[in-house]
Amino acid sequence: MAAIQAQIQALLTAAAAAGSTETGSNMKPHMKVAKPAIFNREAEKVGGFIIACRLFLKMKLRRATVEEQVQWVLSYVQGGLADVWKENIMEELEAGEVEYESAEEFLTSLRKEFGGGEEELVKVGELRKLEQRGRTMEEFVQEFKRAARESGYEGRPLVEEFKRGMNRGIRRKLMEVENLPASIEQWYRRAMALDRNWRESRREEERLRKKEVGEGAPKQK
């Protein structure tokens, strides 16, 4: 395992140097990409950790081998039972007992190991608490999509949660239309359009009110 640890350290050093030179086809040479935070097996953080790793691998370590990419991800898995799991994986890699065809395959195994049902329960709870309130519909939709991604919700149950979370006025207008949206994406688009129109209408009313107040004010001699 010492050999793999040495390889990981060498890869981290190389990655730091590559941060200013390794580029994709459309990247600027000095574009910075945030590295993932240390992952210590908390189920609610596994999704964010995987997204951060996936982005960095794609933008900075695309030319590394699968083994090097896996080792780089492992370098950010630290703490408690996560360390035990990492040591087991490193030993299996060194002994040739396990081999990943891609870094994505490894990230999938990591999600299964540390996410499991707990991550889904966390996302379900987050989804059920979401409400639009003072946010624009665009902001609410993005938050809703993020929570829905790992919740296991789809189809009608997902639509019902979306309807529940949006502001009452928009929900009422959506339900009054002759042809209801069929898919969740259609619900997103129609809700955002209604919200934009409503906000634009409010701005226009405010503009006209201020104009009327200004015109009605007594003129100074």
pLDDT tens-digit readout, 108-165: 888 888 876 555 666 678 888 899 999 999 999 999 998 887 777 888 889 999 999 9
Give mean pLDDT, residues 196-207.
Answer: 90
Q: Give which of 18, 14, 5 is closest to 74, Cα–Cα.
A: 5
Q: Is 221 within a domain?
A: no
Looking at the structure, tell me whether residues 99 and 131 fall in a common domain: no
Looking at the structure, tell me whether residues 172 and 85 fall in a common domain: no
pLDDT tens digits along 56-70: 999 989 899 999 999
Place 171 in a pLDDT band, splitting at 50, 70 and 90: very high
Most confident of 18-32, 111-125, 163-177: 163-177
Please, what is the average pLDDT of the chain?
82
Number of domains in the chain: 2
In this predicted structure, the answer to whether residue 22 has a pLDDT above a threshold of 80 is no
Q: What is the pTM of this model?
A: 0.50
Looking at the structure, tell me whether residues 51 and 83 fall in a common domain: yes
Tokens 């730091």, located at residue: 16
Q: Is 194 within a domain?
A: yes
Q: Which has the higher per-residue pLDDT, 166 or 108?
A: 166
Q: Give which of 34, 30, 5 is closest to 18, Cα–Cα.
A: 30
Domain end: 114, 134, 151, which one? Answer: 114
Question: Whole-angstrom Cα distance, residue 29 to residue 128?
Answer: 43
Domain end: 80, 114, 148, which one? Answer: 114
Q: Are 38 and 51 in contact (CB under 8 A)?
A: no
Looking at the structure, tell me whether residues 98 and 123 fall in a common domain: no
Find the DSSP H helices in the chain: 2-18, 46-60, 66-74, 81-94, 103-114, 116-129, 137-148, 155-165, 168-176, 184-216
Domain of 184? 119-216
Looking at the structure, tell me whether residues 210 and 137 fall in a common domain: yes
